[in-house]
Structure 1
Amino acid sequence: MNCEEFEELFSFHECSSPNGLHSPLSSNARTNSCVNTSQKSDLGSSTGKREASKPPPTLTLDPEIEKKLYDYQKEGIEWMYLRHCKGRGCLLADEMGLGKTVQVSAFLGAMYRNKLVTSTILIVPPTLIPMWEKALLEWGGLQPPLLEVLRGECDKRTQRLQRLRHGVPCFFIATYGMLRQDGVIMSAQMVDYVVMDEAHLIKNASTRVFKSAMSLSARHRVAITGTPLMNNFEDLWGIFQFVDGAILGSSRAEFRRTNAILLRGNERDAAGRERAAASQQLALIQMAIRPYMLRRGKQQLESVSAAKRDLIIWLQLDDTQKRMYTSLSNGDSEKQVAQNSAACEPFLLLTSLMQTCNHPWLNLDDETYRGSIQNPFQHPEGGPELGNVFSSSKIAAGIALVVKCISENRKVLVFSRSKRMLDLFGVTLMNWLIDFMRVDGDTAPEERLDIVSQFSEKNNIWVLLLTTQVGGIGLTATAASGVVLLDPSWNPSIDAQAVDRVHRVGQTRDVVVYRLITCGTVEEKIYRNQIFKSMAAKQGTAGAEGVGEGGSVEFHRYFTRLQLRNIVDIGVLDHSETAIHLRCLNPDSVLETERSSLLSLPFVCDVSDNGCILVRSTDDDENDEEGVNIRSVEPCGGSLCQYHGDKALRPVKRFRPECSDQDGLSEYF
């Protein structure tokens, strides 16, 4: 069955059962409320006649541009043109680093040259404006005055938007902030295309930016994101509601119930009927979105992508960190949190625990911190219990990994969510006489590309420090082939975006990624939630990747509902239970020589292969307690572990203390 047949067969009617979505109905049964009328209506449009004419069967690209495109990028442009010919919106969701910006720029340029498009509004994050200007010029052949970035005060932007009313061909670039402020003005005039880059920013239907995006009047809508599903399946509803409300059709409240079914089905302690219900709902969603979503991964395009080695480096806490972390977890602060229902209290505790995992100084007040960073090798005013700049296993292991990369002739990107952590890491780099540069939220957008260029060109600059939130989007740093993530993000896609600054089209060397996570802490719980979210994201996009044509994709379920929620409970701090479980699932994923080399680094107690997380589920995973087969695997060291359906991971023979009966794994798996 082709995409056109799917389009008609699997668009949902705007109704669902209390237990989730109904089976798809034919297009004849759709109600008008499902249809994005701003896409369909051309009433009062001065260019309605042009839209009514049948477009040519193929889109002609500029020969000079076409020869620079990869084959898969040409296929992406052709796919967008087919969606255009059908009069429907679409989501380009290629994995990060595969050139979505290039494809859309080439598509819009070709549409303009073929006189199929004269007006477009592109909504992008402010940091990506320079990249889009460059791409639209280089790949689309669009330049001023045809191409214009909206700037200045609201009155000035309103004046520039009047070009749309007068029928002047124009391609506007605006930011999400402008969309929030000028949504009414932008929606006053019909345009040929609205393009939303980083479309996951409109996934929350409660936000003003989502409502402003929905109000835009456009004949065609294109959403672009490499992370269409970041937290849960409800993210898909927001994005596809913008693309075309008829695709999923259900109301937000109805889809929220579907989301609950899907998430529960992914938990390890879900009952068989809950898993079956989730599989059914997932299959319906995959079939509904498949015609409108194009997603290719780097693994599918090995000819244009370098290999990637993605490792979890499990660390023990430094003694100073351990004392502070234990005090925060078990002290009076925890009791206060338990007695206080205010949402801010547990959040403050959680923040303090996460900061301690990085460095105790991250918990200092601003004045004390400023004084301490001036004398980083001395104890701050709070006393010796706060340590000095070196009182962090993250600093020690991170520097060791940077030195390892330099010895392999690799330039390195070092990411952290905390600017203070970058301060401390920078001080340590200077102590090691390692030259570095830095990009964070205080770096002007126009300076960021220049810093990356200097980092790429200067042979003496080995390290680029970046905040994950800022450095993770809009930058290309393929001169580096090493990445160190000092701390995990709540959302795995944010870390993936950071990694893909290096692992992308144009990279000529194999890439190595080191993710630093402390054992038994909130970071280990965050990583477990990353696995859960990654599995949901893979399931949600499997249909668009051409996986699971015959139904939903099943992956191994790692965690129970209880384990995913007890986020601040202190665990075993001298080893990682998650690492043991991953090693039992994938005993040969890390070579012994590689493991031994990394275990020799300070504070490193285990190593896991992050690239082996999304393993397909086996019959054993799906069986109930009665009559299941037992699957055994042999992790390193000869400790034989069993999987018994939904039951816990249990040791059979114990040759190492880490696989003992007292390891507590039954509480988590």
Structure 2
Amino acid sequence: MYNCTIGSAKRLQQNINDQQSINGCILAHSMGLGKTLQIVTFIHSVSTNEIIKKYIQKVLIIVPYNVAQNWHDEFEKWFDKCTRKQKIRIWKMYETKSSIAKRRQLLSNWDFYGGVMIITSRMATNMIDNLDEKSFRRSLTQPDLVIVDEGHLLKNNQTAFYKALTKIKTERRIILTGTPLQNNLSEYFFMVDFIKPKLLGKHERFKTRFEKPINNGQLIDSTDYEVKLMKKRIHVLTKMLKNYVHRCDYEILVPYLPPKHEYVIGVRMTSIQSRLYRYYITNVTTITRKNLLNDSRILMLICNHPSLLLKYHREKYDKENFDNHQEFWWKKVIDSLEEKQLFDMKFGSKFTLIFSILAQCKRIGDKILIFSQSILTLNYLEKLLNEQNWIKNSDYFRIDGNVEISERHEVISKFNNPDDHRARLMLISIRAGGIGINLIGANRAILIDCSWNPAIDSQAIFRVFRLGQTKPVYIYRLVSYGTMEWKIYERQVQKQSLSKRVIDEQHVVRNYTRAQLEEMYRFQESPDLLAIPELPNDNLLADLLLMHDCERSIISYHEHDSLLAQLPEEELDDGEKLEAWVEYTREKMKSDNQPLATEKQKNNIPLEQQPEIITL
């Protein structure tokens, strides 16, 4: 961080007006490696240096809503331990909410006294773009150093967040992210372009030189030439970014933490779930790109529990229209009696397993987290808990988008208390509570459903597998066998393989063919019986596999990390690495002499010749 944003005190003095001489960086350390503490240490160092503090006085830290208070607490915790002559002020913009007057006063104090301003991502976007309060933009776009936490949110240059942050004038920019590459290389490009503009050239050139050859070589049916070219371009890209992207994978934690076991459990749907699922993909939807995301949401609800289908449509229509609506497609699949019984837990295999796991956790004294991307799913789970006499905020807790920062802090503190044995379950909306919080009070976690973006699920897992954890960690991914959800999980493995190749320069098994990636709608019926090869290391899961009630619900299991094993024999040798640079340089010189196609020229390409691009 020091090398990229400052370099030396001498250079800082000589080049204070030469913005081109100052760079940014990406601190791409996996979750739980202490990125927050590193920033606290860095800011304290530059703010107390007699020379540097003259030039870096205002620090802006942009963070997700749910970790804003945690950032403040970390500064207070560590700064209070330091002896210093001058107090470094911490300003909490995130607490001003909608008060314009308080925001003006806080910015005025920050401009005058300097210090660290903590602001949420959405608030920063709104204030910078607020044309009625130009003082907001003037102050927020002129810090001496800007730090963006969870910087992978800058993955799209068309978002309001990205456009707002590009108005910030300082070139001293630091991005923090545990998951720098989530879906595709274009997202990675925009993050790098934010901290070091033009390093990777124009986006169109980048796609031709890196994204296309890397994507073409990462599938199991790629040709030898495509695989070799992929490895070469990964090597070139990794070396180009070496001085600007500092990567530490979670593997560095392994010697200092208890073991982690991450199991993917193939769940057999109940008869009603299978009938609803098959009817929907056969008779209700049309297989098009336009319908894919909406269909995935509907099918996810069916996979979780069929009653959620009714809940979804009840919210979509008002109660009167819902009760009188005769055209709901599921009425052609289930009769009126089945519809009345649909809210019974037994009609959803995942929930049968969840409550078996909860019973086992209570028996052995382990706390557990349950994540879902569906609020309807969490609501139904909470209803079942209440029916079984679980008490909210005593036996179980919940974090979603409706929980205020101060309340989250209190809930997390109580849940993590090792002496509170009653507080044993946390329900979490994966998008609201899967980032940046510490939940090491638990050592087990269930992911009820799969996200398109593997980084979202990974972030959730690292709420428990991080420094401070004292017990072995067990993760259970519940995936409905043979469904779109199963294929979404397979896409996750492919995306994580890409991330490991580019960010960590590992060469992971090329797992899936192009044809497999296109079979999202194909439904594979569960086999009558699938033998479990051997019992797992986890006694809880082993007991589930042997229980009569769960025997039919679990079709298969495997450990997730086994699909991401590194293969040293796939690495390039020194001669191939040199050859990679020669080939890249030659292609770059050739393409630099050719003008990029204009939008008008692109629009003149016949439709059948245009590439089909789907980003999920």
Asked if TM exceeds 0.5, the reply is: yes
Aligned to 2:159: 207
Distance 1:54 1:125 in 2: 33
Distance 1:496 1:148 in 2: 31
Contact 1:121–1:194 (CA under 8 A) maintained in structure 2: yes
| Change beyond 3 A, Cα 1:49–1:536 | closer
What is the deviation of 1:594?
7.8
Q: Given the alignment, which residue of 552, 566, 569 partners 2:522?
A: 569
Distance 1:237 1:620 in 2: 25
What is the deviation of 1:91?
1.1
SS state at 1:231 partner: coil
Q: Given the alignment, which residue of 112, 136, 143 partners 2:47?
A: 112
Alignment of 1:324 with 2:276, yes or no, is yes
Q: TM-score when scaled to structure 2?
A: 0.77
Letter paired with 1:422: L
Map residues 159-558 of structure 1 onto 2, 5 A cutoff: 160-163=106-109, 168-183=113-128, 185-186=136-137, 190-248=142-200, 250-257=201-208, 258-330=210-282, 332-334=283-285, 337-338=286-287, 344-365=290-311, 368=314, 383-385=337-339, 387-390=342-345, 391-434=347-390, 435-457=395-417, 458-542=420-504, 552-558=505-511
Q: TM-score when scaled to structure 1?
A: 0.71
What is the deviation of 1:49?
9.2
Letter paired with 1:389: D
Letter paired with 2:173: R
What is the deviation of 1:392?
0.3
Aligned to 1:630: none
Aligned to 2:589: none
Distance 2:344 2:88 in 1: 52
Distance 1:118 1:381 in 2: 69
SS state at 1:295 partner: strand
Letter paired with 1:325: Y
What is the deviation of 1:541?
1.3
Distance 1:263 1:366 in 2: 37
Distance 1:575 1:154 in 2: 63
Contact 2:218–2:510 (CA under 8 A) maintained in structure 1: yes
What is the deviation of 1:110?
2.2
| Change beyond 3 A, Cα 1:154–1:251 | farther
Aligned to 2:92: 149
| Change beyond 3 A, Cα 1:417–1:436 | same
What is the deviation of 1:133?
0.8
Q: Given the alignment, which residue of 545, 554, 569 partners 1:604?
A: 554
CA deviation digits over 1:624-661, x for unaligned, max 9?
xxxxxxxxxxxxxxxxxxxxxxxxxxxxxxxxxxxxxx
Distance 2:178 2:563 in 1: 19
| Change beyond 3 A, Cα 1:243–1:225 | same
Identity of aligned residues (%): 25
Letter paired with 2:39: V
What is the deviation of 1:454?
1.8
What is the deviation of 1:475?
1.8
SS state at 1:218 partner: coil
Contact 2:27–2:35 (CA under 8 A) maintained in structure 1: yes
Aligned to 1:60: none
**Larger RCO of the pair (alpha carbons < 8 Å, separation 6+):** 2
CA deviation digits over 1:259-305, x for unaligned, max 9?
12212211111122222222221111100112222222332233432
Give the alignment's Cα RMSD to 1 decimal.
3.4
| Change beyond 3 A, Cα 1:104–1:592 | closer
CA deviation digits over 1:97-137, x for unaligned, max 9?
12211111121122212242311111111221101111122
Contact 1:519–1:575 (CA under 8 A) maintained in structure 2: no
Distance 2:518 2:487 in 1: 9
Aligned to 2:579: none
What is the deviation of 1:524?
0.6
- Where does the alignment leave 5 or more consecutive residues of structure 1 unmatched? 8-38, 41-47, 56-83, 372-379, 543-551, 623-669
SS state at 1:555 partner: coil
Contact 2:500–2:507 (CA under 8 A) maintained in structure 1: no
Distance 1:481 1:591 in 2: 15
| Change beyond 3 A, Cα 1:519–1:320 | same
Aligned to 2:63: 124
Letter paired with 1:322: S
Contact 1:127–1:445 (CA under 8 A) maintained in structure 2: yes
| Change beyond 3 A, Cα 1:565–1:187 | farther
CA deviation digits over 1:73-100, x for unaligned, max 9?
xxxxxxxxxxx9x843111111101221
| Change beyond 3 A, Cα 1:93–1:213 | same
